Amino acid sequence: MKNVSLKLPTFGFIVATRAALGVGLGLLLSQRMSDSRRRAVGLTLVTIGAATTVPAVIALSRSRNRPLLTRVKDLLAL
């Protein structure tokens, strides 16, 4: 099992990224607004969500904790 330890701002950033992408896709698939406005807002949110996915993945990969066995081996190697 891999443990991930995130600070609150990083967690909020990841959640906001996923939310923008989801809401943008929802708008693109819905019929609630006029076509031009819905397309503009939807594409903007999808673009923001997609563009911020890379920094979110980097932040998530940096926050992974190494397994306990690896940490113990590193300590014993000193």
Mind listing the pLDDT tens digit of every residue in the chain (78 residues)? 567 777 888 888 889 888 988 888 888 888 878 888 888 888 888 888 888 888 888 877 777 765 555 555 555 665
Tokens representing residue 3 in the block: 């443990």
- Give the list of residues 6+ apart from residue 43 with CB closer than 8 angstroms, or none: 24, 28
Strands (E), 1-78: 3-4, 64-65
Total structural domains in the chain? Answer: 1
pTM of the predicted structure, to 2 decimals: 0.63
Whether the CB-CB separation of 38 and 27 falls below 8 Å is answered with yes
Q: Which range marks the domain in which residue 24 is found? A: 3-77
